[in-house]
Amino acid sequence: MFNKFVASLLPLFPKKFIWIFSKRYIAGETLDDALRVSKELNQEGVKVTLDVLGEFISSLDEAEKNKQEYLHVMKRMTEEKIDGNFSVKPSSFGLLIDEETCYRHIRELVARAASYDNFVRIDMEDSSCVDREIKLYKRLHAEFPQHVGLVFQAYMRRTFTDIEELTPLHSENKPLNFRLCKGIYVEPATIAYKDHDEINRYYLKDLEYILQHGFYVGIATHDPFLIEQAYQLLEKYHVPPTRYEFQMLYGVTPERRKSVVEKGHAMRVYVPFGKDWFGYSTRRLKENPKMTSYIIKALFNKK
């Protein structure tokens, strides 16, 4: 309770102070930091997906700048032969300002990724973005079926139906490709499940449906129960390694990550980097309020 209260005050803490805890979740402020971390992860047999930090923007000039930054990231990743792909948040490309401009920017990124035989994952943002992000995915999947994917959040009441509705778009040559996560934004109970066990039940229902229908899936979770259940479903449906991977966030449960890799499953780590690290890290800290006890201890212990 106390930790939750402190977590809600996090945005008021001095930035420098939050950084002490954030650096665990962020590769660094620069692309060189992200490339270094990615190489280290590749050496552990783990692939990456790079995320340039930054979300909801207020002008379309920022969208253009963000696109240029991603194009540069793609070029460097390819030159450095990093085993990784790219995750994008459509709100950083103007999704809520001008959908068509956002589509054109992300289309350019997916086309560039396709020219490198690479892949762009569209992150799922809060509920104001869900319809638009599904629409964006459908358009891009029609043109670049092997090079673009979407995220679904198990906590949204609509998710199972959304996945069912996309099913007719799936075929051997045009595979649907989803990352399945629990969902991170604060949503009202009218549209999102709130109870931990209920979210897990729907996560497994969505996952089973995805595996039964042969879509590619990124099983994005650190939850040991879900990981264990996912192993069982993979076995039950004889899912080949070409159709799934596990995914975790940089800095979260590295030991659990190692144990999944040691069992022979493909693993991809989401590596965020960039100057806009503050929003991302306060969300991670709020998600895990136990972390705030470390903050409080450090406040009084300057050694």
Ligand X SMILES: Cc1cc2nc3c(=O)[nH]c(=O)nc-3n(C[C@H](O)[C@H](O)[C@H](O)COP(=O)(O)OP(=O)(O)OC[C@H]3O[C@@H](n4cnc5c(N)ncnc54)[C@H](O)[C@@H]3O)c2cc1C
What spatial distance separates the first Cα and last Cα of the chain, rounded to whole Å? 27
Q: Which of 178, 270, 273, 277 binds ligand X (CB under 6 A)?
A: 270
The CA-atom distances, in angstroms, between 43 and each of 38, 48, 239 are 9, 11, 26
Q: Which of 46, 102, 106, 249 binds ligand X (CB under 6 A)?
A: 249
Q: Which of 105, 112, 141, 182 binds ligand X (CB under 6 A)?
A: 182
Instruction: Report the distance separating Cα 292 and Cα 298, nearest Å.
Output: 10
Q: Which is nearer to ligand X, 121 or 147 (CB)?
A: 121
Q: Which of 98, 164, 165, 287 binds ligand X (CB under 6 A)?
A: 287
Q: Which of 73, 124, 180, 260 binds ligand X (CB under 6 A)?
A: 124
Q: Which is nearer to ligand X, 31 or 51 (CB)?
A: 51
Q: Which is nearer to ligand X, 113 or 269 (CB)?
A: 269
Q: Which of 23, 253, 258, 261 binds ligand X (CB under 6 A)?
A: 253
179 is catalytic: yes
Asked whether position 221 contacts ligand X by CB under 6 A, the answer is: yes
Question: Cα 47 to chain center, whole Å?
Answer: 13
Asked whether position 219 contacts ligand X by CB under 6 A, the answer is: no
**Active-site residue, selected from the candidate residues 51, 123, 162, 206:** 123
The dihedrals phi and psi of 97, each to the nearest 5 degrees, come to -105, -50
Please identify, among the stretches 7-15, 37-45, 53-61, 246-254, the one whose residues bind ligand X according to the rule CB under 6 A.
Answer: 246-254
The dihedrals phi and psi of 252, each to the nearest 5 degrees, come to -105, 130
Closest approach of Cβ 153 to ligand X, in Å? 5
Q: How does DSSP assign 133-196, residue by residue?
A: HHHHHHHHHHH-TTTEEEEEETTBTTHHHHHHHHGGG--SSS--EEEEE---S---TTTB---H
Please identify, among the stretches 11-19, 59-67, 221-229, 234-242, the one whose residues bind ligand X according to the rule CB under 6 A.
Answer: 221-229
Closest approach of Cβ 124 to ligand X, in Å? 4
131 is catalytic: no
The dihedrals phi and psi of 153, each to the nearest 5 degrees, come to -110, 120
Closest approach of Cβ 288 to ligand X, in Å? 4
- Phi-psi map region of 82: left, alpha, beta (phi>0 left; psi -120 to 50 alpha): beta
Q: Could you identify the residue written with the tokens 């008021």?
A: 12
Q: Which of 166, 248, 267, 271 binds ligand X (CB under 6 A)?
A: 248
Closest approach of Cβ 241 to ligand X, in Å? 18
CB-CB neighbours of 282 under 10 Å = 18
The mark string for 126-155 relative to ligand X (x by CB under 6 A, - otherwise) is -------------------------x-x--
Asked whether position 77 contacts ligand X by CB under 6 A, the answer is: no
Q: How does DSSP assign 78-128, residue by residue?
A: HHTT-SEEEEE-GGGGTTTT-HHHHHHHHHHHHHHHHHTT--EEE----TT
Q: Which is nearer to ligand X, 113 or 248 (CB)?
A: 248
The DSSP bridge pattern shows strands 47-52 and 148-153 to be unpaired
Q: Which residues bind ligand X (CB under 6 A)?
A: 123-124, 151, 153, 179, 181-185, 220-223, 247-249, 252-253, 270, 284, 287-288
Please give the positions annotated as active site.
123, 179
